[in-house]
Structure 1
Amino acid sequence: MENQRNEYLWRKAQNRAAFKVHALTYVLVNAGFWGLYLFMSMQPWGEHIYPWPVWPMLGWGIGLISHYFSAYGNLDQQKMAEAEYQKLLRKEYDSD
């Protein structure tokens, strides 16, 4: 007997796995940016280099936070859609 997958839970699991890959990529790439910044600042010409890796970290961090809330947040889109559907049904029946 083969178990049937719950499609909603499967999508949620895939989204959470994608977030973990996204977070790992964020950490590795930004560590590389800071390593490059450190290397550049140690050069004779780089003693006054602006810490530019802050900007990709902030910009990408906003996207990462958004991805986190879509994967782990309490906003259950399926439950919210069901509640809205029930409101619309009540409104439809009340207008008759």
Structure 2
Amino acid sequence: METNRDEYLWKKAQNRAAFKIHARTYLLVNAGLWIVYYFMQLQPWGRNMHPWPIWPMLGWGIGLTSHYFSAYGSIDERSLAEREYQKLLEKKR
């Protein structure tokens, strides 16, 4: 049995599902980095260590934020493309 899908909505749903996986991975990996940092702090050589897990969190967080806006952003690409298409048609005349 074949279902008729709106391709635009299907791609948007896939992008949102991918974002959820990305966010879950971000949380798990960064929690792991903070746990490693905590155990390093317990060692005599790591007592004055800079909290280095903040740097991967910030860098990866930029990518995660970008992924969020592409998945859940309020810009409707379909209507934006339609408006641009109409502008091009008017220019052509």
Q: Taking structure 1 as the reference length, what is the TM-score of the superposition? A: 0.92
User: Distance in 2 between the 1:34 and 1:76 partners?
Assistant: 38
2:61 is aligned to: 61
State which structure, 1 or 2, has the greater radius of gyration over its C-alpha atoms: 1
Give the corresponding residue for 2:88: 88
Alignment of 1:15-30 (within 5 A): 15-30=15-30
Unaligned runs of 5+ in 2: none
- The unaligned stretches of length 5 or more in structure 1 are none
Count of residues in Structure 1 that have an aligned counterpart in Structure 2: 93
| 1:75 corresponding residue in structure 2 | 75
1:34-53 mapped onto 2 (5 Å cutoff): 34-53=34-53
- Amino acid aligned to 1:81: A
Q: Percent identity?
A: 69
Q: Distance in 1 between matches of 2:71 and 2:4?
A: 22
C-alpha separation in 1, matches of 2:8 and 2:79: 11
CA RMSD of aligned residues (A): 1.0
C-alpha distance in structure 1 between counterparts of 2:52 and 2:69, whole Å: 27
Normalising by structure 2, we get a TM-score of 0.95
Which string of whole-angstrom CA distances, capped at 9 and with x for unpartnered residues, describes residues 19-65 of structure 1? 00000000000000000000000111110111000000000000000
* Segments of 4+ moved more than 4 angstroms: none
